[in-house]
Amino acid sequence: MTADGHDKIRKSTVSKSDAVYRALKRAILDQALAAGTKLPEDSIGERLGVSRTIVRQALARLNGEGLIELRPHKGACVAQPSLEDGRNIFAVRRSLEALVVDSLIGKLSPQQIRQLEAHVEAEDMARANDTATSIQLAGEFHVLLAKLTENDILSRYVTELVSRSSLILSLYGRPHSPDCAVSEHRELITALAMGDRDKAGALMLHHIDAITTRALLKSQTEKDFPDLLAAYAREEGL
């Protein structure tokens, strides 16, 4: 096989692994897959029409983000963080996101500011028609901010904490309006664009504190595993 052939196979495998990762992540954060649900590689592979190797790659990424647990000799399952875990996660996130803001003050280019504004516009469009997508985009806004710092370590930890926070909120959070995230994100962009360190820092801390206060216990409903992934797979082209 030629080098081009190998490259095409590699890209196809990566693309499928990304699609499986996204499908599983959305199913977990939407609580279609409840906390503690077992995630057998063979069953997921059959359901999504991919190999166990591809499923294993996706599960490794989800484990790295704290959304699943990989247990020796027992396989994978959806993570079951406690409220105490949640408090610890948000405490660390609060400090790291303050560092993100501090790192970006006076350094954002006009193009980067437009990129942030375009993301918030997408959040605004989604909030009226798709709450799940709106919440997902709200989390990705914070990931984007961290990436703009060009600090790979900071970006990696914020990405993980945003995923863990989303899981905590999906398990324990009380319903809220996506309007809050949109308006707060816009205010933060304005402060960053103006180079107002104090205001931007205060806005971010207030925003994270507001998210934290939504982490309140609520009851869970058990769901069956077999057909839960079908809709997520279709959306990812699997």
**What is the phi/psi pair of residue 48, to 5°?**
-100, -5
Q: How far apart are CA 61 and CA 17, in angstroms?
A: 10
Surface-to-core class of residue 192, CB atoms within 10 Å of its CB (0-12 exposed, 13-18 middle, 19+ buried): buried
Residues whose CB falls within 8 Å of the CB of residue 136, separated by 6 or more in sequence, listed in order: 26, 29, 166
Amino acid occupying residue 197: R
Q: Where are the alpha helices (DSSP H) in the chain?
A: 3-29, 41-48, 52-64, 83-104, 110-127, 131-148, 152-172, 178-194, 197-213, 230-235
Per-residue model confidence as pLDDT tens digits over 198-227: 999 999 999 999 888 876 544 444 445 556
Residue 238 in contact with residue 49, Cβ under 8 Å?
Answer: yes
Please give the Cα distance from 55 to 60 (Å, whole number). 9
- The answer to whether the beta carbons of residues 76 and 39 sit under 8 Å apart is yes
Q: How far apart are CA 127 and CA 184, in angstroms?
A: 14
Across 9-18, 64-73, 138-147, the highest mean pLDDT is recorded for 138-147
Predicted structure pTM score = 0.78
Q: What is the CA radius of gyration of the chain?
A: 19
CA–CA distance, 161 with 133 (Å, rounded to integer): 18
Per-residue pLDDT tens digits for 68-109: 999 888 899 999 999 889 999 999 999 999 999 999 999 999
pLDDT at 217: 45
pLDDT digits (tens, 9 = 90+) for 103-143: 999 999 999 999 999 999 999 888 777 666 777 888 999 99
Cα–Cα dist 119/17, whole Å: 25
